[in-house]
Amino acid sequence: MPKSPVRIAVVGGGYGAKVPLPVLCDLDEFEPVAVWSRRSERAAQLAEEHGLPLGTDDIERLLGHPDLEAVHVATPVATHAEIAIAAAQRGLHVLCEKPLAADLAQAREVTAAIEQAGVIGVVNYGRRFQQTRERLLQRIAEVVGTPRMVSISLVFDDHAEPGSRPFTWVQDAALGGGRLQGYGVHDLDLLIEAFGEIEAVAAATEVGVSEREAPDGTPRTVTAEDGYVIVVRFRDGGLGQISLTATARHKRGDVIEVYGSQGTVRLDADKCLHWARAGEELHSEGPLTANSKEAYARVARNFFAAIRDGAPAHPGLVEALRIQALLDAVHRADDERRWVEPEPI
């Protein structure tokens, strides 16, 4: 018997409308039935475009939609917890954007609400399913051994000019903005997937472009980082660094280098992957792909399998809490200018 599709609502008219909504509409496993935006006209337009019965700016109305089974929460980070908890308390399964919440304490509250309601919780750490990163993780497992030095370097130019992006929650630390929530959490996820526990972190963040205009033209001060450097010490030995600038004048593809006790893996900016065991010449493959919609479809299918088949939720809440603990440690290390050990999960 084919399993019935999961009736789902998308909360968020930004990324939520760009990737999750069209992907969920294409997947047989889901039946999108409602969408939320802060602006009612945008919600109505999205509902019409995708043939959904409901487009609304009223979150309670969305969560109370008849026979709704699940939500994808894609709103500013500081608002995830309230929406995810409200959804779980109504018995809805929750697929939440990363990071799960504004901090570890809030993320634990979301986890508790989901567990108490007996619903499924998945967090969209889908970047690990992009072909570049998935192949990188496979090669690391095959050839690297224990890590000696790992480097992840991201370079973007999209925040270089004051006018290149308006001031939104992304530039507002109080709403959970910043590039750490955008990209840093995916790279912390990659390190945990590849090498397990991180013992301690040191970090520095920077606001490179400090003034931007809100969409209504009001000048605003940027409080959330557009650049950072994180240094990590793995529990089983080895060091790593993660860096990002969003204000470069010339962007470049992600470069990830892993030098281990048994071998080497390197992803170059052209998406070509190179790897070898000690004593071998480097093998190469690529260019590989890094498709966001394909990666999200993997997360969504896992969500479906957890709901309908009882499969493990993946990426699940424990993984999300580990990353959240590291993110808290990174912020504390930056604020207090010292090494910080993440809270154990």
Ligand X SMILES: NC(=O)c1ccc[n+]([C@@H]2O[C@H](COP(=O)([O-])OP(=O)(O)OC[C@H]3O[C@@H](n4cnc5c(N)ncnc54)[C@H](OP(=O)(O)O)[C@@H]3O)[C@@H](O)[C@H]2O)c1
The contact set with ligand X (CB under 6 A) reads 12-16, 37-39, 42, 74-77, 79, 97-98, 124, 126, 168-169, 175, 181, 292
Q: How far is the CB of 17 from ligand X (least distance, A)?
A: 8
Helix (H, G, I), strand (E, B) or coil at 16: helix
Q: Is 177 exposed, middle or buried (0-12, 13-18, 19+ CB in 10 A)?
A: buried
- CA-closest candidate to residue 27, choices 314, 306, 302: 302
The token pair at 177 is: 């903005």
User: Residue 311 has what DSSP assignment?
Assistant: P
Nearer to ligand X, 259 or 292 (CB): 292
Closer to ligand X by CB, 263 or 319: give it.
319
Evaluate the omega torsion of the peptide bond into residue 287 and state whether it is cis, within 30 degrees of 0. yes
Closest contact distance (angstroms) between CB of 294 and ligand X is: 12
**∠ CA 173-179-183 to the nearest 5 degrees?**
140
**b/e map 305-334, b = 16+ CB within 10 Å:** bbbeeeeebebbbebbbbbbbbbbbbbebb
- For the CB of residue 229, give the shortest distance to ligand X in the complex, in Å: 21
Query: In sequence order, which residues have a C-beta less than 8 Å from that of residue 205 and are 6 or more positions away?
Result: 178, 180, 225, 227, 228, 334
CB nearer to ligand X: pick between 93 and 165: 165
Which residue, 167 or 234, is less far from ligand X as judged by CB?
167
Q: Which DSSP symbol is given to 174?
A: G
Q: Which is nearer to ligand X, 13 or 342 (CB)?
A: 13
Query: Closest distance between ligand X and the C-beta of residue 18, in Å?
Result: 7
Tokens of 261: 């006790």
At its nearest, how many Å lie between ligand X and the CB of residue 218?
14
CB closest to ligand X, residue no: 14
> What secondary structure letter does DSSP report for 184?
I
Question: Shortest distance, CB of residue 178 to ligand X, whole angstroms?
Answer: 10
d(CA 326, CA 322): 6
Residue with Cβ nearer ligand X (56 or 264)? 56
